[in-house]
Amino acid sequence: MENWSALLHDLLVEIAKQISCIEDFVSFGAVCRSWYAAATRENFTRSTQIPWLMLADVEQENESERWRQFFSLSSGRIFEVILPEASQIRSLSSLGWLLTLGELKANLLHPLSRLQIQLPDLNTFQDYDEDENFFLDYVHKMVLSASPAATRDYLVMVTHGFATSLGFWRPGDASWTAVDPWESYIHDITYYKDKLYAVDVHGNVILCDVNGPNPTQIWHNDVDDTKLRGETKSVA
């Protein structure tokens, strides 16, 4: 075929959906404008793809063309992606999206399409103290319930604050919503089958229902953390 850019868009979409390697998907989108239009996040449907790892940021002079490096576990290659939105800023990740955190500001960012979704400012959390100026360390962990590229019915869930509390945001909300605080520090969170699971520093598991207007803890499993630590003895 003389002009590959003349392929029908629907055909290009079907081809894009058959690509199983993210590197090939990026190369596919770099052919021309029409191929790039088909190389959207929702058309990369291979959920078993090994994710890229975003490497540490480095100092760069050109602010408009600052890039981030990503390491591919499957190919062992390092890719440089122009991504000034994630340069010199703290980032967390889930389902291929980045949560970028600036001074009070929070955004979801897709590193390949550079699509950004503005989230409420961090000071909409009830326990945020602007006098402490600790916005860089205020959010510790983030998980998405689903990809924003695939649906508008998703949640952004985070652990936040000095007490490492739970909070979430859904599209359309004007502020972050807090989940009733737990008596211990939350260490990690994950989302599974419409429920948010949290683990505290003692190994206790907390199950939260975040689907209704008033998020609640519906179950928790207490763990004897002495069994996790083992018997301790003092040495004279």
Domain chopping of the chain, boundaries: 1-48, 50-55+67-229
- Quick: pLDDT tens for 163-221: 678 888 999 999 998 887 777 788 899 998 888 899 988 888 888 887 776 666 776 77
Amino acid identity of 141? K
pLDDT band at 138 (very low <50, low <70, confident <90, very high): confident
Kindly tell me if the per-residue pLDDT of 89 is higher than 70.
yes
Of residues 15 and 64, more confidence is placed in 15
Kindly tell me if the per-residue pLDDT of 158 is higher than 90.
yes
- Quick: pLDDT tens for 184-195: 788 899 998 888
Give pTM, 2 decimals: 0.75
C-alpha–C-alpha distance, residues 18 and 8, integer Å: 16
Amino acid identity of 137? D
Q: Could you please report the per-residue DSSP string of 125-185?
A: STT--GGG--GGGTEEEEEESS-TTT-S---EEEEETTTTEEEEE-TT-SS-EEPPPPSS-
Amino acid identity of 1? M
Closest CA to 173 of 114, 125, 102: 125
Find the Cα–Cα–Cα–Cα dihedral 219, 167, 94, 225, rounded to 10°: -40
pLDDT band at 229 (very low <50, low <70, confident <90, very high): very low
Closest CA to 16 of 42, 37, 38: 38
pLDDT > 90: percent of the chain: 19
pLDDT on residue 171: 94
